[in-house]
Each structure stands twice: as C-alpha cells, then as structure tokens.
Structure 1
C-alpha cells in the first residue's frame, strides 16, 4: 500500500507550505513509504484529489486544500486530521497501516509528550500559526488602551 500525499509545489501560502513540509517530513523521518502528487502542475492530480475527498470532509467552499492524504484510493484526511493523529500517537491507524513492532501505537500507549522531536517541531509550527492569527485578532486592545488615557 502506498500513501499518497497531494501537495501544491507552487503554493503562495506559507501556511500550506509549512503543513505540506510537516506531513512529508514526518513520513520521511518515520520511513513510511509515500508518493507526492502535485496538484499545482497537474490538472489530473487536482481533479482526482477533489473528487475523492468525501463530501463531509470538504470545506464550505467545496475545494479541499493541500495537503490531503490517501492510502491508495482510501481517504485518510487533511493536515488537521494528520496532526491530531500524530499527537495522539495513532498515526499508523490514521494512515491505514499496521504499526511497527514495539511502537507506542501497537502497545496502546498514547503519550504525545513522548513522541519526540517531530512532535515538538509540529507544535512549534502550530504556535507560530497561532501567534500570527492572534496578531490579526487583537486590534481592539489598542483602542481600549487609548480610551483609558
């Protein structure tokens, strides 16, 4: 079984690029066989990805953004699903793969703090995203400070 990761190699969105890099980096680091499919340069890949993401998993605008992850033809999920599975140490189940012998997932343990460098790296990226979002949502604080003066 081959894991398929649909990416956009020429994405203008830094957030999308970071998410794609995190998925690909995790799969490489854990020696999980996968193949990348570029939706930016190949209309057939883009069409296949859009048609095979289940309706209930599509965003409101109906167009799923990369990265999208499949095991052959079976939809696994998007980045948020991937990240949650990684944090809960159930990534092999998420990908539809048997966990390797001796893995935390095989033993039924789910301690995200013991997941290692990859989790910390992922949490770092999430923190940066949250900081960026928080910076956009706080202009009202400045107005309140001016009123108090």
Structure 2
C-alpha cells in the first residue's frame, strides 16, 4: 500500500514547514516511496483526513499507509529516534521502496 502524507504546500508557520520537510527528508533518505495529499488544493481533503483519523481537530502533517493511520509529526519523530520508521509506517519486508 502507498504511504500518503497529508500536508499543505502553503504553510502559515515556519515550524509547520520544517516538520513537513523533516518527514520528507527522512523518507527520501530511506528511499521510501510516498504520495503527497495537499490540503491547499482542496478544502474537502482536510475533512477527509480528519474523518480517517477520527479527530475533528487533527493538524497536518498526518501519515497513512493506505487507509491505515500511522500518526502525525510527533509520532513520526519518535519513530525516527527509535529507528523504527518501517514499523511506524506499517511496512512489510516485501513493500516497494524507491
């Protein structure tokens, strides 16, 4: 299943931009393929993301493996620190990498 990252190409704060870039850089470094879902392109995507998570106040970035919710920035950062990105992303050994 593909990894989806809900994010925004238009960010109001530098911290949000840095959080998104952190995720992209770590995934690129591990050669893990992902698809970006840009909430700036369609406001309905925010509702879709929040519905999938089950949290009407969820903020971006949020990460999914297909329809399976993995977590947000803080969860991802913790997985990086623990060297458990693949487990966090629910990747199996047969899943494609770039």
TM-score bracket, shorter-length normalisation: 0.7 to 0.9
What residue in structure 1 maps to residue 3 of structure 2?
A: 3
Q: Which runs of 5+ in 1 are unaligned?
A: 56-61, 101-149
User: Of the two, which has the highest radius of gyration?
Assistant: 1
Runs of at least 4 residues off by over 3 Å: none
Q: Which runs of 5+ in 2 are unaligned?
A: none
| Deviation sequence 1:76-128 (CA, Å, 0-9, x none) | 0000000001100111010000258xxxxxxxxxxxxxxxxxxxxxxxxxxxx
What residue in structure 1 maps to residue 86 of structure 2?
A: 92
What residue in structure 1 maps to residue 76 of structure 2?
A: 82
The TM-score with structure 1 as length reference comes to 0.59
What residue in structure 1 maps to residue 65 of structure 2?
A: 71
Query: How do 1:10-49 residues align onto structure 2 when only pairs under 5 Å count?
Result: 10-49=10-49
Query: How do 1:133-148 residues align onto structure 2 when only pairs under 5 Å count?
Result: none
> 1:11 Cα deviation (Å)?
1.2
What residue in structure 2 maps to residue 110 of structure 1?
A: none
Contact 1:85 1:94 in 2 (8 A): yes
What is the number of residues matched between the two proteins? Answer: 94
The TM-score with structure 2 as length reference comes to 0.88
More strand by share: 2
